[in-house]
Amino acid sequence: MKHLVVSLHDFHPGSRERIARQVRELQELGVPHTSILVVPQFHHGKATAADAASVAFLEERAAAGDDLVLHGFFHQQQGHDLDTLFWSALYTAGECEFLDLSEGEAGHRIEMGRKLWDDQGWPLHGFIAPAWLMPEKQDSLLRRLGFLYTTRLRYVKVLPKSTVTESQSLCYSTRSHWRRAGSYYWNPILFGRLRGKSLVRLSLHPDDLEFPELRQQIREIVEMTLADGYQPITYAAYAQM
């Protein structure tokens, strides 16, 4: 069986309304469940746990069967060196929070982040680092902390079994005109390479559907994937197959 996973990145109080619109639009297209990547305190701003509307929305989505994923803690890197300059300054604009953390600090932030799930009684199956950038050696930490899966740009990893499914995620960059143009022309090429594989992944960020040309292309990709017989599924459900 072939599967489609749609993940909605960077949920926090400031992105709640845009992600809620994404959920509704995906449901209209035939994608009833998504994996929502939650940032506990995006860019050191208002904590997600302190925003009643955000907690209520996540409660609703968890009850509906969506997969709530821990997505870093601040989603922001604090300082960088020359070794990470490309990833920090160009690739992510300073958002690769877990790229160069020590294991102790990474574990501390993960434990702080999972408190939201513990307090609300939500299941927590996955951890995905901001921008997918986390050293592979830290997978052992995620395994010890009881996570079922993690993902990176090019694959999904089920941690208890260390099994890897290769599948590069379709994703968009909207920070500038040239990035949007690059995404617009690259993703159909990548989608053509993915069609027929067992897993297709589509990763959306809060602004992606705000640009009409990207919105139309994303809708078409979802429609074609479903027409090809792919079944929508969350990362958590996929990892438990």
- Using N-to-C axis directions, what is the helix angle for 52-64 and 103-120, rounded to 10°? 80
pLDDT the model gives residue 192? 97
Residue-wise pLDDT tens digits, 81-133: 545 555 454 555 557 788 889 999 999 999 999 999 999 999 999 999 999 99
pLDDT the model gives residue 96? 72
pLDDT the model gives residue 129? 96
pLDDT, mean over the chain: 93
CATH of 3-239, picked from 3.40.50.300, 3.30.70.260, 2.40.420.20, 3.20.20.370, is 3.20.20.370
pLDDT the model gives residue 175? 83
How much is the average pLDDT of 49-70?
98
- Flag whether pLDDT at 20 surpasses 70: yes
Say what percent of the chain tops pLDDT 90.
86
How much is the average pLDDT of 123-150?
96
**Which one is predicted more confidently, 170 or 95?**
170
Beta carbons within 10 angstroms of residue 191's beta carbon:
17
The C-alpha torsion from 59 through 132 and 88 to 19, rounded to 10°, is -30
Residue from 232, 173, 182, 235 nearest 2 by CA = 232
- Flag whether pLDDT at 198 surpasses 90: yes
- Flag whether pLDDT at 80 surpasses 90: no
The pLDDT confidence band at residue 240, using thresholds 50, 70 and 90, is: very high
pLDDT the model gives residue 87? 47
How much is the average pLDDT of 4-32?
98
Residue from 180, 172, 226 nearest 200 by CA = 226
